[in-house]
Amino acid sequence: MSTRRETVRQALNESTGFRSAQDLYAALRAEGSKIGLTTVYRALQALSDSGEVDVLRTDDGEAVYRACATDTHHHHLVCRSCGKAVEVEGPAVESWADDLAAQHGFVDLTHTLELFGTCADCAAAARR
């Protein structure tokens, strides 16, 4: 693995939530890294292709990334306020998707499901 890709992977490993390429770039530059924004994007794409990071689209369409905690198919619960993300399995979703595809004659099904809400900590802070 390239040193720059390792730098980006390490930055994601140290994060608790999803981060944009621009956010990672700014943080790495603030730490003194000479990495370029294009290199950050390339590293994120390579890490995503290899399954080492999760990528999802925010409500406004921006791609955000997080180090993958598991190598099995999963979905995410993401806090709109703080960005905290929880990996969850969805056997009912998997069954529903497979059944729906079969009903319509589709094969080789893939899908993405992300759930956005407010985590308990942010909800409690908002009530104070």
Q: What is the CA radius of gyration of the chain?
A: 17
Each residue's pLDDT expressed in tens, for the chain with a length of 128 residues? 468 889 999 999 888 778 999 999 999 999 999 999 999 999 999 998 888 888 888 778 889 998 877 777 778 888 888 878 888 888 888 899 999 999 999 999 888 788 889 999 999 999 98
Looking at residue 16, what is its pLDDT? 74
Place of tokens 């000479």: 34
- For residue 110, what are its two tokens? 């893939």
Per the annotation, binding residues for Fe cation are 73, 94, 111
Per-residue tokens: 37: 């924004």
Binding residues: 73, 79, 82, 94, 111, 119, 122
Side chain identity, residue 68: C
- Compute φ and ψ for 35, nearest 5 degrees: -60, 145
Question: What's the rounded Cα separation, in Å, for the pair 99 and 114?
Answer: 20
**pTM tops 0.75, yes or no:** no
Identify the pLDDT of residue 114. Answer: 80
Handedness of CA 91, 94, 98, 104 (dihedral sign): positive
The CATH architecture of the domain made up of 71-128 is 2-Layer Sandwich (3.30)
Q: So what's the pLDDT on residue 28?
A: 95
Predicted pLDDT of residue 98: 92
Annotated binding residues for Zn(2+):
79, 82, 119, 122
- Please name the fold of domain 1-68: Arc Repressor Mutant, subunit A (1.10.10)
pLDDT at 52: 86
CA dihedral for 38, 42, 43, 44, sign (positive or negative): positive
Two domains, one topology: 1-68 and 71-128: no
> Hey, where are the domains in the chain?
1-68, 71-128
